[in-house]
Structure 1
Amino acid sequence: MNQDFQNFSQSLSNKNTSVRTHNRVLRNTYWLLALSMLPTVVGAWIGVRYGLMHFAAAPIIRAVGFLVVAFCIMSAIEKFKHSGVGVVLLLGFTFFMGIMLTPLLGHILGYVNGATLIMTAFGGTATIFGVMASIATVSKRDFSNMSKWLFVGVMLILISSVANIWLQLPALTLTVSTLAIAIFSAYILFDVQRVVNKGETNYITATLAIYLDLYNVFANLLSILGIFGGNRS
């Protein structure tokens, strides 16, 4: 009887420890996600203020350069995800991503209502995140089976975006942006639930995944707002 009670107590203690650890991962993910927005804003402001992305290079070269730098930093984040170095690298990455928003932000700010469009895109992205994160937290449905379809969707977006560098088709731009918003909104649902269901136990990599989802939703939503709501007069 005594042994059974001790076993039960130990099991209960282990379960409580697991719950506390999981809650800490989720809490740290949200805190780091909020913090990561600051370097993004600073990077975007510096990029627009000093025209850091206004250099002469073919679009495909800029695209390849971006992918190489982004994947190198993300690989380093993965390597150091269990230390404070990973946090520093993540914040440096979000600063870099803010700079990469410069061409889009510069284009949108060329409109009379550019600042309003940016704030609208920010509010829309925050709303999408709130809805998807809430569903991921309270829903009993398992969304992990979406991973293959979401990956296919991302590959389709990437291929179409590269093709449109040469095609320059407005209809394709709109289609890709709309699809990207849908895909990365679903990724928010998928990535948040991975943390909730303990599929992801590292808050640095969890933050990176959700940050990229939000970044893509914001950029593509802003692009669509610019197409339909931009006012140059």
Structure 2
Amino acid sequence: MYTNREVAAVRSTDSVLATNKVIRNTYMLLSMTLLFSALTAGISMVFNLPHPGMILTLVGYFGLLFLTTKFRNSGLGVVFVFALTGFMGLTLGPIISAYMSLPNGGQLVMTALGGTGVIFIGLSAYALTTRKDFSFMAGFLMSGILVAFLAGIGAAIFNIPALALGVSAMFVLLMSALILFETSNIIHGGETNYVMATVSLYVAIYNLFLSLLHLLGAFSGDD
């Protein structure tokens, strides 16, 4: 017979192993999807594909996100993750091409890419090493992302540069918070599905990169 303390120790060990497995699988899948997204963005740039537009982008994103969520517990979930990130890479290619056409476009893109990497690695390492619980940010993130998303649509429709700039600044803060929240969520067992964890972190990285690129372009006077 096991004592209560021994049972608790076994359960704690199992929980740690399960968490480590989710973290390992999440970062492995995230790395592959980022590379695949970069590949599709590169293809889009090489063939000079036009941007699909806001409506098609939103339909494609939410449609593939729905399918990924629906099949998250099966092998199809991984397939739809690659479909989603590949599609987002295609939408990213024309945007990068537009910035690359600027006099200092290459520097802007590389700075935004480097900044995204530093922020992601720094915040992920902080959450993993400190193991702080950031679940309290759930409500803030939900409402903040919704407000920023609607404001971004408004800025695009009514062509308000100042609002668009403010939305980009908001997204830098919100996506940084999302990285902390999602990493903490994995550590503390709130997220046990590595497919959904990958999608959340990918979306954070994608929007963080675009927002930094927009801000850098604006402050350099070329946006």
TM-score by length of 2: 0.91
Larger Rg: 1
Q: Answer whether contact 2:132 2:184 (CA < 8 A) is retained.
A: no
Runs of at least 5 residues in structure 2 that lack an aligned partner in the other structure = none
Contact preservation (8 Å) 1:104, 1:223: no
Who is 1:24 aligned against?
Answer: 21
1:170 aligned partner, one-letter code: P
One-letter amino acid of the counterpart of residue 164, structure 1: A
1:71-82 correspondence to structure 2 within 5 Å? 71-82=62-73
Find the partner of 2:82 among 91, 108, 115: 91
Rate the CA distance shift 1:92–1:10 in 2: closer, same or farther, 3 A: same
Aligned residues of 1:78 and 1:205 also touching (Cα < 8 A): yes
**Equivalent residue for 1:65, pick from 56, 60, 71:** 56
> What CA RMSD, in Å, does the superposition of the two structures yield over aligned residues?
2.0
Cα 1:11–1:145, aligned 2, differ >3 Å: closer, same or farther? Answer: closer
Indicate the residue corresponding to 2:133 in structure 1: 142
Shift of 1:114: 1.6
1:109 to 76, 100, 107: 100
| Residues 148/12 of structure 1: CA separation in 2 closer, same or farther (3 Å cut) | closer
* Match among 188, 204, 219 for residue 213 of structure 1: 204
| Structure-1 residue corresponding to 2:32 | 35
Task: Provide the C-alpha distance between the structure 1 equivalents of 2:2 and 2:157, rounded to a whole number of angstroms.
Answer: 71
Please tell me whether residue 130 in structure 1 is matched to residue 121 in structure 2.
yes
Task: Tell me the distance in 1 between the aligned counterparts of 2:5 and 2:150.
Answer: 55
Counterpart of 1:101 in structure 2: which amino acid?
L
> Structure 1 regions of 5+ residues with no counterpart?
56-61
> What's the CA shift for 1:102?
2.6
Q: TM-score, normalised by structure 1?
A: 0.88
**Which runs of structure 2 are paired with 1:162-177 in the superposition (5 Å)?**
162-177=153-168
Q: Per the alignment, do residues 89 and 207 of structure 1 end up closer, same or farther by CA in structure 2, a change over 3 Å counting?
A: same
Distance 2:119 2:213 in 1: 14
CA 1:77–1:113 in structure 2 vs 1: closer, same or farther (change >3 Å)?
same
How many residues are treated as equivalent by the alignment?
223
Mapped contact 2:131–2:187 kept (Cα < 8 A) = no
Q: Which amino acid aligns with 1:137?
A: L
